[in-house]
Structure 1
Amino acid sequence: MKRYHYLAASILTGISLLSNTSDSKAQRRPNTNFVPYSSVSFGVGSSHYYGDLAGYRQFIRATYIMPRWNLGLGYTRQFTPHFAARAMFTWARIAGDDYTFNKNNIEKNLVQYARNLHFRNDLKEFAVSGIYNFVADGRNSNVRAKLTPYLFGGVALLAHSPEARTPVAEEAAPYEAQKWVKLQPLHTEGQGQPGYDKPYSLVTVAIPVGIGLRYRLNENFNLGFELGYRYTFTDYLDDVGGPYADPSVLQGLATKMADRRTQHYDSRYKNPVERYQVLVDLYNNPSTSPELKQQISDALQTNAVPRGSASNILGFLNDGYVLTSFQIHYIIPTKIKCPPIR
């Protein structure tokens, strides 16, 4: 019996020694648990539209031909050294213009030049994204990585409303000339009429994906740069997606805004540009081939030529846009829990 008492005493003594040893090591070892922290950010940058008026097939040209601006405000929560989540509101303007995009290569882009459409659209985007940092942060916000490249991706809710200018005075009557008007209520492709699609929604979903680089300026601030693409679930950021409507189903101002091929001026400019005469001169040029003359005639007169062009990479991509953003981040101070001193 005494043997069991000796054995039990030996086990308890061993456990006690191990416990004391563990406590001693725990006191010497620093607390390496990551402390989550938050930041708010403000950014400004450029906006670049891709769609029927600036096709994906000419991606580089579409990127630089008519850039506009964006402003963004965000909140980010860093949950682990590598992973964060962000909620961000962005207000961005995009724009496109057939004349501007195609004026230097009319014969190659004859249909688009002859179409003579333009638009602008102010986008209100609310996005929730996940962020993956390639360089891990330290255990708290005070020991953040100095330079952090990262990827982001998520989902966004997008509100939009495309606009265009009415024609010049002699072509706008009886409506006001060169006034910016909202296009969706005009149903420029016959939307809502029997045999036509229903009006497109002014609220849609977008998928933001992109890359970024963040620089630790000091304990309280980061500087950053992002480049991100948004794929949208609409083909009507530019109000252009389908064929020309039968003129008999158009009403009011839509009769001036839906088919602008024979209007003489590109009315987007405050000082309108004569663009129709260029086509007339090309048609009357003795060196112009009969085939090209027929193409000009078709582009200007027939509804067999689509209003919405198949100018996407694979022919089925919806409208999209790219945002660049230069950002400043403010790190919200947090209480750092220090290991207890024993």
Structure 2
Amino acid sequence: MKIIYSIAFILFVFASSSSAQRFADVALSGGISNYIGDLGNEKNFPLSSANFGSSLTVRNFLNNPRRSGTYQRAFDMQVRFSWHRLQYDETNSIGGKEGSELRNYLRGIGFRNDLFGTEVGLTYNFLLNKRAPLTKPKFMGFVSVGLGVFLGEPKADLFRGDVALENRYYFWDDGTVRDRPDNEKHIGQEVKRDGVYETKLRDWNTEGQGYSREIHKTKPYDNCNVGIPMGLGVRYLYNKLLTLSIELNYYYFFTDYLDDVSGRYATYEELAASFPDVNQFTLAKYISDPSGRGTNGYSGLATSPRGNPNLSDAFTYLSFEASYKIKWKKKSIYGQR
């Protein structure tokens, strides 16, 4: 993460080093982030994972001070600060289907991860006329690629209130959430989930993570991860100061734990080693397997895979952006401009 911040700092220092007139584009965007990972009840793209995202971007600050800001460059450098809410819940109904009708309802895992990122990227602008003044509105396309560091902690809504066994949810086959386990007599009060994501999933070693090599085969994952944003879009140059854009970005990550799901369920032996207290051990079993149908506590045929460790997590970001060009001129050491 320090590397990304260092690069961004060096770029800004370089951009402001000249005493000549400088300019840069400052942009705000908002749009829809779509999580792509191990969870999902759709066969293809998980449209039901759509959530909000936003970003602040500074670009075109490495310009030539001898040239006017009314010329468009083929290549732009940009620094972007972003927030994306990634979320999915396999117990939610989709397209009229609910409960056991859903493809992965019996696994029944859900999460929310608010990702905060810092990116440094390169943008290539095409189909543009470099000599055309910005006072003439026009369109141009662009593609971009970059490198970013993102911080986010996967959480889950598994309790009505505090993390305690008496507050847990029970997911019935009919798609309802109740205060008692599913039973033939249908005894149990239907409850509504409170929407508070109180459970920090990493703390509960849901896939048997730990530091003891005798029991645990994998170490805990990091909440800070590297991602590669790749994008394309169209800009509309409204005037020489204001530019409007539509952009689609795909973010690829070198981790499979943005959703806390990657490989297999934790065995009861692994959970007992991490949580020797009986109450904590029971909580850990529930948090790892909320539906109670995913594992019998042992590695074997009776335990279904929790995720696919061969596929890293990703998300898309479809956004609308407004960019405004700012200008400044650094004072010389004699106070002159």
- TM-score range normalised by the length of the shorter chain: 0.5 to 0.7
| CA shift for structure 1 position 142 | 4.1
Which residue of structure 1 aligns with residue 289 of structure 2?
259
Unaligned runs of 5+ in 2: 1-20, 64-71, 170-193, 330-337
Which of the numbers 85, 88, 96 marks the counterpart of 1:93? 85
Distance 1:255 1:107, change over 3 A: closer
Q: Percent of counterpart pairs with the same letter? A: 29
Amino acid at match of 2:28: F
Which residue of structure 2 aligns with residue 204 of structure 1?
225
What secondary structure sits across from 1:113 in the alignment? coil
Is residue 327 of structure 1 aligned with residue 321 of structure 2? yes
Distance 1:107 1:185, change over 3 A: closer
What per-residue deviation string (whole Å, max 9, x for no partner) do you get for residues 149-174 of structure 1? 100111111111000012458x9525
CA–CA separation in structure 2 for the residues paired with 1:299 and 1:239: 15
Which residue of structure 2 aligns with residue 184 of structure 1?
202
Which residue of structure 2 aligns with residue 71 of structure 1?
54
Which residue of structure 2 aligns with residue 222 of structure 1?
243
Structure whose alpha-carbon radius of gyration is higher: 1
Amino acid at match of 1:96: Y
Which of the numbers 157, 165, 172 marks the counterpart of 2:157? 165
CA–CA separation in structure 2 for the residues paired with 1:114 and 1:167: 18
Which residue of structure 1 aligns with residue 107 of structure 2?
115
What per-residue deviation string (whole Å, max 9, x for no partner) do you get for residues 183-222 of structure 1? 1112111211423210000111101001111111122111
Q: Is the 8 A contact 1:115 1:307 kept in 2?
A: no
Distance 1:185 1:100, change over 3 A: same
Unaligned runs of 5+ in 1: 1-34, 263-297, 336-342
- After TM superposition, the structure 1 = structure 2 runs for residues 5-24 of structure 1, keeping only pairs within 5 Å, are none
| CA shift for structure 1 position 332 | 1.4
Query: What TM-score do the two structures reach when normalised by structure 1?
Result: 0.66
Aligned alpha-carbon RMSD (Å): 3.1
What secondary structure sits across from 1:100 in the alignment? coil
CA–CA separation in structure 2 for the residues paired with 1:122 and 1:210: 21
Q: Is the 8 A contact 1:36 1:77 kept in 2?
A: no
Query: What TM-score do the two structures reach when normalised by structure 2?
Result: 0.67
- After TM superposition, the structure 1 = structure 2 runs for residues 130-145 of structure 1, keeping only pairs within 5 Å, are 130-136=122-128, 138-139=130-131, 142=134
| CA shift for structure 1 position 108 | 8.4
Which residue of structure 1 aligns with residue 333 of structure 2?
none
CA–CA separation in structure 2 for the residues paired with 1:175 and 1:51: 28
Is residue 54 of structure 1 aligned with residue 40 of structure 2? yes
What secondary structure sits across from 1:222 in the alignment? strand
Q: Is the 8 A contact 2:137 2:239 kept in 1?
A: no
| CA shift for structure 1 position 248 | 3.4
Decide which structure has greater helix share. Answer: 1
Q: Is the 8 A contact 1:209 1:228 kept in 2?
A: yes
Which residue of structure 2 aligns with residue 308 of structure 1?
306
| CA shift for structure 1 position 257 | 0.4
Which residue of structure 1 aligns with residue 175 of structure 2?
none
Amino acid at match of 1:75: V
What per-residue deviation string (whole Å, max 9, x for no partner) do you get for residues 107-157 of structure 1? 7865x2211110010001111111011123535974687211100111111
Amino acid at match of 2:39: L
